[in-house]
Amino acid sequence: MQFENIARMNNWSNEEKACVLTSMLRDSAAAILENLCSSDLRDYDKITSALKLRFGDAHLTELLHGQLHNRTQQAKEDLTTFAYEVQSLAKRAFTFDWPIGRPVEEDELLLIELFSRSRLFADKLIGSYRLILEGVVKEKNVTVCDSLFDVNNKVLP
């Protein structure tokens, strides 16, 4: 970001940005340049693509999905802290917009994750939010139990 701002202030072309950037890279970042052909070394977009491929956070989404999937409430962790952590993980794991262009709300992120992770994650989330769910269920005249049921009211394993 800082480099982009300096390049914009100096009105550098893509080739000038490529030249300056390649001269500034060190160690493992500079080693990435060895895999580029000479014409690509003058192409700022190709250099940044190669750097993003090696050092970018493309794997981060998968990592965050895993963390969200495995996140359980710790023994001494209060429900508010746990809920905040789950929401934070969900927000970082699912950074996209609905097709109509409005951002996804935090509670919608939790529903998306709950749906996509099926029963296993649902079990963990339901267990963690049991007290909150009991209050909601009381308002809806639904019974709370320790089992999950399918659409035919059969207990799921």
Whether 72 and 124 share a structural domain: yes
Full-prediction pTM beyond 0.85?
no
Whether 68 and 128 share a structural domain: yes
Whether 134 and 64 share a structural domain: yes
Whether 125 and 73 share a structural domain: yes
Can you give the pLDDT at residue 10?
A: 92
> What pLDDT, in 10s, does the model give residues 74-114?
888 888 888 888 877 777 776 544 444 555 566 656 666 55
> What pLDDT, in 10s, does the model give residues 124-155?
555 555 655 566 556 655 555 666 666 677 77
Whether 89 and 106 share a structural domain: yes
Q: Which range marks the domain in which residue 107 is found? A: 60-140
Q: DSSP characters for the chain?
A: -HHHHHHHHTT--HHHHHHHHHHH--HHHHHHGGGS-TTGGG-HHHHHHHHHHHHSSTTHHHHHHHHHHH----TT--HHHHHHHHHHHHHHH---B-TTSPBPPHHHHHHHHHHHTHHHHHHHHHHHTHHHHHHHHHHHT----SS-B-TTSPBP-
Domains contained in the chain, number: 2
